[in-house]
Structure 1
């Protein structure tokens, strides 16, 4: 009697727990009665198979197939063949359990599924090979909506024994979720930036960018991908990104070379390149320009897929630089006497202790900024490349003759230096600039371990920044 009470208690617990939780020789899992041997989906795996298909002008690509591991509650007394049937009445149950709005597959699609039965051999509980459920290729085109579910219920095709073979009401259910997308091809990157630099000697820089084309799966035919200029979309971009970019002028757009791409059959990627070998940028003003380009795909039957249309963007930054790309020598001398200089403002430096050698930052920070009055107008021909053990990642310098109107000297990116009389590396201007004031920003490496020495007075040689200006008076 005690054993029977234990079995009943366990049986009730299993029912409340919504079914089978493992394989057992006890009658705990027999929710139909003591004389049943239930078949169920192995509860160690998910009971949903997710299948992705892509509907394109050239056909539907992707497999709808499921491999279902099945088990018996007790050892089989003979070879048991397990099959399955579609049960669309379970569609709402699936949606409730998964928070989805999947549709039931059409009846003619459900009627066409192919099932390969699984066999559980005598004296075992698990099939050597899983039950296979497949939707034939010719039926996939009938699936036109984004989400479907194909619920299947296990059935006993053959087998015998003292225990009656049956499918578990709860655990004999499996779902095939079908996700249908019309977007097989896409751009793996939609934005590239190029920099054009205007100098007294001419224009430097070019456009040479690539946009990746990616297929979510390989198909058995080529897919052509192209970009076409769409300058009418500039205002839409500016509105969406709170920018005020100017449209890249038509003469430059027409001079660009856009090499479209083909994703070959069996492959999933290619690149569209945009370059500017024939473009003349000399007429551009300093500022940022934008070229939107529409992305289109064409399949083997020459049909385009509107669902895959997208927009790629080319951003062109035009800046002015007075820094010589490749100077042969320093024109003038680095300043040795700064007694006439005055630091008007500083951020992360102590203005009262201004020096061109080992000026110590006040705190660990990625930038140090300061504004200087030289005390008189000088012919500024360059500036020393900043140095410190912390690590300097760059410098930005603006000059002014009156303290009101400022001129940026431009980026040092890609610029070479020349050595002064003391062997210090200096950036050299194409021409002298008359200036009394300078605004300087020095970029420091926040990740450097040298910052650990900052609290110690003796360590200023390690954390201090060396910098200077070059005059040719």
Structure 2
């Protein structure tokens, strides 16, 4: 029994030492057989970026900072250099069944290609910064999108070497071309300009004379009192035309009603098609209303218009299937 007891405590002592050594080494990422301090970058796991083209402007959400990391502690600074390596695109497309294109060289703004990992740190103090060049963003219209491969190309100091398996990261920038002026990603907080304060003479009418049931006075849309509502409904889609009497540089259209005074809803349902005109005869597309959590239909930029025409679609809700609209107040934001 004495020998068994002694053996038990000897094994327990060895395990205790091993456990302590393992905890102390966790932070250093000390891989057996590799004497180098490996510099690496993490694979990008966020959402794809987007280049958006509208009739008046082109924008891009592509803006990213890429830091570098090391596997071990080190007593001197390490310099790591990163670059865009388009030679990786073909292999990526083959492996993933994609057809991404390379961005033109002048399309990227690149800052801090060489970053510094300070002594004792496990990541760089600065980062590679990538963004789309605003001067050429309007030319970026690939139908399949763009791939931006970031690669570590060198590491110096602190017994450092580039990682053999974590040395690249792939970024995707898709392209979306919008035909209308309605910003389907905007909210009320993105509305620019100011509400028109003088609406004297403003009016509206339903183009279809038959089959549309109307309740309320059209003048209530412009009286400053949201509780005086006007509504219209039909079994078929119909059109409402709003006449502002003169040309306005419109940045957003707001038509809303109040639900028993508790919450304000946009009067235009999702799928409402909107057009604008200067003379009430020749119409141009404004866009299709997205789902709106608020009151305003926000435009990408100011659009000069006097008339606004809305095609009210047939939708299904708790009250049935029909085309309908309820408006407490109608106005526009202008710049």
TM superposition score normalised by structure 2: 0.51
Q: 2:64 aligns with which of 202, 209, 217?
A: 209
- Where 1:32 maps in the other structure, the secondary structure is helix
Q: Is the 8 A contact 2:37 2:72 kept in 1?
A: no
Q: Is the 8 A contact 1:223 1:263 kept in 2?
A: yes
1:188/1:342 Cα in 2 relative to 1: closer, same or farther (>3 Å)? farther
Answering whether residue 84 of structure 2 is matched by residue 229 of structure 1, we say: yes
Q: Is the 8 A contact 1:335 1:469 kept in 2?
A: no
1:208/1:189 Cα in 2 relative to 1: closer, same or farther (>3 Å)? same
Q: Is the 8 A contact 1:342 1:374 kept in 2?
A: no
**In the TM superposition, what is the alpha-carbon distance from 1:186 to its structure 2 partner?**
2.7
| Residue ranges of structure 2 left out of the alignment (5+ in a row) | 184-190, 212-220, 228-234, 245-249, 276-284, 320-324
- Name the CA distance, whole Å, in 1 between partners of 2:119 and 2:210: 69
Instruction: Map residues 19-34 of structure 1 onto 2, 5 A cutoff.
Output: 30=1, 32=3
1:33/1:183 Cα in 2 relative to 1: closer, same or farther (>3 Å)? closer
Q: Cα deviations across residues 372-410 of structure 1 (Å, max 9, x unaligned)?
A: 8334899997643767767989x9657388xxxx98559
- Where 1:326 maps in the other structure, the secondary structure is coil
- Name the CA distance, whole Å, in 1 between partners of 2:110 and 2:37: 30
Q: Is the 8 A contact 2:239 2:309 kept in 1?
A: no
Tell me which structure has the larger Cα radius of gyration.
1
1:223/1:62 Cα in 2 relative to 1: closer, same or farther (>3 Å)? same
Q: Cα deviations across residues 330-353 of structure 1 (Å, max 9, x unaligned)?
A: 69999866694999xxxxxxxxxx
Higher relative contact order (CA 8 A, sep 6+): 2
Q: Cα deviations across residues 184-219 of structure 1 (Å, max 9, x unaligned)?
A: 533264556444443444334564321233334432
1:194/1:276 Cα in 2 relative to 1: closer, same or farther (>3 Å)? same
Q: Cα deviations across residues 270-291 of structure 1 (Å, max 9, x unaligned)?
A: 3221134564212233866323
Q: Cα deviations across residues 89-118 of structure 1 (Å, max 9, x unaligned)?
A: xxxxxxxxxxxxxxxxxxxxxxxxxxxxxx
**In the TM superposition, what is the alpha-carbon distance from 1:315 to its structure 2 partner?**
2.0
**In the TM superposition, what is the alpha-carbon distance from 1:438 to its structure 2 partner?**
6.1
1:31/1:468 Cα in 2 relative to 1: closer, same or farther (>3 Å)? farther
| Residue ranges of structure 1 left out of the alignment (5+ in a row) | 1-29, 55-60, 65-139, 146-179, 344-355, 359-370, 418-423, 442-453, 458-463
Q: 2:298 aligns to what?
A: 427
Q: 1:351 aligns to what?
A: none
Q: Is the 8 A contact 2:86 2:102 kept in 1?
A: yes
Answering whether residue 110 of structure 2 is matched by residue 257 of structure 1, we say: yes
Answering whether residue 16 of structure 2 is matched by residue 40 of structure 1, we say: no
Q: 2:254 aligns with which of 354, 377, 384?
A: 384
1:63/1:289 Cα in 2 relative to 1: closer, same or farther (>3 Å)? closer
Answering whether residue 169 of structure 2 is matched by residue 311 of structure 1, we say: yes
Q: Is the 8 A contact 1:293 1:313 kept in 2?
A: yes
| Structure 1 range deviating more: 45-54 or 321-330 | 45-54
- Name the CA distance, whole Å, in 2 between partners of 1:219 and 1:440: 67
TM superposition score normalised by structure 1: 0.39
Q: Give aligned pairs, total.
A: 265
Q: 2:237 aligns to what?
A: 373
Q: Over aligned residue pairs, what C-alpha RMSD do you find?
A: 5.9
